[in-house]
Amino acid sequence: MRRLMTSRGGQAEQTGRVLRFCPVLCVPWLCSVIVMMFCCFSDGAFAQQASSIINSKHNLSASGPGAIRAVAEQEVCIFCHTPHNAAPIQPLWNRNVPVNVYTPYASSSLQARPGQPTGSSKLCLSCHDGTIAVGSVLSRSQPIAMAGGITTLPPGQGNLGTDLSDDHPVSFRYDATLSAQDPKIKSPSQLPPAVKLDRNQELQCTSCHDPHNDANGKFLVMNNANSQLCNACHQPQDTNIAAHAACASCHQMHSAPSGALLLRGVNASETCLKCHSSQPSDWPGENVAPDLLKLSRHYRPPERGPMIPEEGPTPGGQANPGPQDITCASCHESHTMQTGLASAPMISPKLGQVSGVNGAGALVPTAQFQYEVCFKCHGDVPVVASRITRQIVQNNTRLEFAPSAVSFHPVQAAGKNSDVPSLRGGLTTASLIYCTDCHSSDSGSTAGGTGPAGPHGSNSPPLLVARYDTLDGTTESANAYALCYRCHDRASILGNESFSGHAKHIVDQRTPCSVCHDAHGISSTQGNTTNHAHLINFDTTVVRPDSVTGRLEYRSTGPRSGLCYLTCHNVPHSPASYPGNDLGVGQAIHPPPGPITPTEPTTQPALRKQPRLQRFQQSVAPPSATPRAGAPTPALTAPTARPGAPR
């Protein structure tokens, strides 16, 4: 039997068929093999996964396929691991650990409280925070030279920096207590095998990414088609809109422009416009972008940095951030939006389970009625002021539309006036309407157009579906008051069916509807049924107190009759009554004692050729009097579009 003796040099000693290896050579060799297996192979799938890292961006050797690679270094694993002189960190870490203080992710909607990065996340950041040279490894006395003179990770999505507030949170404990606090995430017991927490049950970068396996793209631990990876932790949302079910269509997990919202745009609106515009998209939706450029719009281009999670005005007396904070998310909850229709006053499924403010002024987490969504901004914390100077000033539409209000358009409840002969076919005094029957796109389906419906934008302020002229001196036409004529039959109005002086005021005197009527309503906290029935709330830039009695007042005296104490177009009503006598218009019961010299208000355009007093006298002249030359003869055709249809 042949025996080979081993020297201190590490030769093998063979006795029979037994081999013994000197520890001096055995340990380093074995460690190198283990490290190579760890780096190149994952979960035992040797051959397949070995090729995946070699052909991935994490192969930083000279043979790597990515733009970031070494000039000459051939070892693949050395950029992270080494069998010798490793840091006292598993697994045989070959890099310095960052000592930076990071800005962690923070959001008031997050029950977890991520702190400074720990565990594998901090190891990942030794490259991905961009502060340590890519080629700086512990096992080499000099950094490995990288192609193109690259030192630290170049700017881009892979370089997260030290501000992690715009990245998906890591290094927080994900346990049953957390999932019980937040119903939108799953219990850790439901996580699929591919999604792993660390030994401290913390979610780390490696919960979503496998640095050795790029088979799923972006080194993900599982395929994210149909949001499978996202839904491993997050409860799937209730939406039947395909694009909204795909998390990645709206969200960006790293270096998100929005900050904590993790959106692909600087805010919700900019994110929505990536699909809801004419720009190319994998998920093209209705193009609302043109509406957002119109004269009146629910949109303001972002002029500041990333937004905090709470967007838009807050009800309940809290500080109002202002109209610049209004985004699509103020009215739409994208994760729960559905296709379908609804009828007034129910909320459209296209808005989703969005929050609102109810008729009592209380915040509700899920609005039931459309007007509750509107009240978030146009109720107790109104973001816009009235465009018309009124006798009674009220910007809280919640109070104006309240069932207890003196008179109102039927948004929250059916109107109080049972005698409205001008209502067009299909509408009755029991009908309810949406806010968006008046406030909506002027080119959308509500307006009879082909564009998207909804209050995105209109060229008819204030965001009206049709034209509504409020300038005194407006010539009556189907177009000038198209908004009113959508519900109120033009022939009935100009035929004086409900008010004996409508035609005289609107046509002859060119007085807009808005001079007498406040379209939303009059709150019961300010008005009463005697003085403010029929939406009466005068425009005080046109109507002033009566020069004889000093009163500025309307008084209802019964069905289709009343008295007006006021001065309008320099003509005193001291008072004027209607229906009055056979003149068909209000009669001045107490005319002024002396002649009146009319003057044109300097703030009004010179639209009329005759003094106002002369025109008024002609308007109340007996039927035998000569009509005013050039008086317009109104066409009595009405538009066919009618609000109240399901949406």
pLDDT digits (tens, 9 = 90+) for 42-65: 344 433 444 478 999 999 999 999
95 falls within a domain = yes
Beta strands in 317-380 (DSSP E): 356-357, 363-364
87 falls within a domain = yes
Q: Is 454 helix (H, G, I), strand (E, B) or coil?
A: coil
Query: For residue 647, what pLDDT band results from cuts at 50, 70 and 90?
Result: low
* Residue type, position 149, single letter: G
Assess whether pLDDT exceeds 80 at residue 26: no
Positive or negative: CA dihedral 121, 125, 128, 134: negative
Assess whether pLDDT exceeds 70 at residue 279: yes
Query: For residue 597, what pLDDT band results from cuts at 50, 70 and 90?
Result: very low
Q: What is the mean pLDDT of residues 248-254?
A: 96
Whether a cis peptide bond, with omega within 30° of 0, leads into 572 is no
Assess whether pLDDT exceeds 70 at residue 607: no
**Residue 554, beta-bridge partner list:** 564
- Which tens digit of pLDDT belongs to each residue from 354-401? 999 999 999 999 999 999 999 999 999 877 888 999 999 999 999 999
- The count of domains in the chain is 1
Query: By mean pLDDT, which of 97-111, 170-184, 616-630 is the weakest?
Result: 616-630
What tokens does 286 get? 């209705």
Q: Is 108 helix (H, G, I), strand (E, B) or coil?
A: coil
Residue with token string 């049709």: 466
Average pLDDT, the chain: 83
Assess whether pLDDT exceeds 70 at residue 30: no
Torsion of CA 215, 220, 226, 231, to 10 degrees: 150
Query: For residue 644, what pLDDT band results from cuts at 50, 70 and 90?
Result: low
Length of the chain: 647
Tell me what pLDDT residue 537 has.
98
* Residue type, position 431, single letter: S
Tell me what pLDDT residue 116 has.
97
Q: Which residues contact 44 (CB under 8 A, 6 or more apart)?
A: none
* Residue type, position 77, single letter: C
Assess whether pLDDT exceeds 80 at residue 539: yes
Residue pair 344/284 in contact by the 8 Å Cβ criterion:
no
69 falls within a domain = yes
If we measure between CA atoms, which residue out of 219, 265, 210 comes closest to residue 66? Answer: 219
Assess whether pLDDT exceeds 50 at residue 576: yes
Q: What angle (nearest 5°) sits at the alpha carbon of residue 393, between those of residues 390 and 398?
A: 125
57 falls within a domain = yes
Query: By mean pLDDT, which of 89-93, 240-244, 482-486 is the weakest?
Result: 89-93
For 101, half-sphere exposure in the C-beta direction (CA atoms, 13 angstrom radius) is 0
Looking at 41-160, list the stretches that DSSP marks H as alpha helix, in order from N- to C-terminal side.
Answer: 46-54, 119-128
Q: Is 248 helix (H, G, I), strand (E, B) or coil?
A: helix
If we measure between CA atoms, which residue out of 230, 228, 210 comes closest to residue 220? Answer: 210
142 falls within a domain = yes
Q: What is the mean pLDDT of residues 240-250?
A: 94
Residue pair 457/446 in contact by the 8 Å Cβ criterion:
no
Tell me what pLDDT residue 494 has.
97
Query: For residue 124, what pLDDT band results from cuts at 50, 70 and 90?
Result: very high
Could you give the percent of the chain with pLDDT greater than 90? Answer: 72
Tell me what pLDDT residue 90 has.
84
Top-confidence residue, 626 or 405? 405
pTM: 0.78
Burial classification of residue 337, based on how many CB atoms lie within 10 Å of its CB (0-12 exposed, 13-18 middle, 19 or more buried): buried
Burial classification of residue 385, based on how many CB atoms lie within 10 Å of its CB (0-12 exposed, 13-18 middle, 19 or more buried): exposed
If we measure between CA atoms, which residue out of 507, 488, 510 comes closest to residue 498? Answer: 488
Assess whether pLDDT exceeds 70 at residue 210: yes
Tell me what pLDDT residue 27 has.
39
Tell me what pLDDT residue 468 has.
98
Q: What is the mean pLDDT of residues 493-502?
A: 95
54 falls within a domain = yes
- Which tens digit of pLDDT belongs to each residue from 126-168? 999 999 999 999 999 999 999 999 999 999 889 999 999 999 9
529 falls within a domain = no
Query: For residue 174, what pLDDT band results from cuts at 50, 70 and 90?
Result: very high
Beta strands in 271-342 (DSSP E): 296-297
83 falls within a domain = yes
Residue pair 563/577 in contact by the 8 Å Cβ criterion:
yes
Q: What is the mean pLDDT of residues 178-201?
A: 96
- Which tens digit of pLDDT belongs to each residue from 456-493? 999 999 999 999 999 999 999 999 999 999 999 999 99
Range of the domain at 55: 21-104+130-149
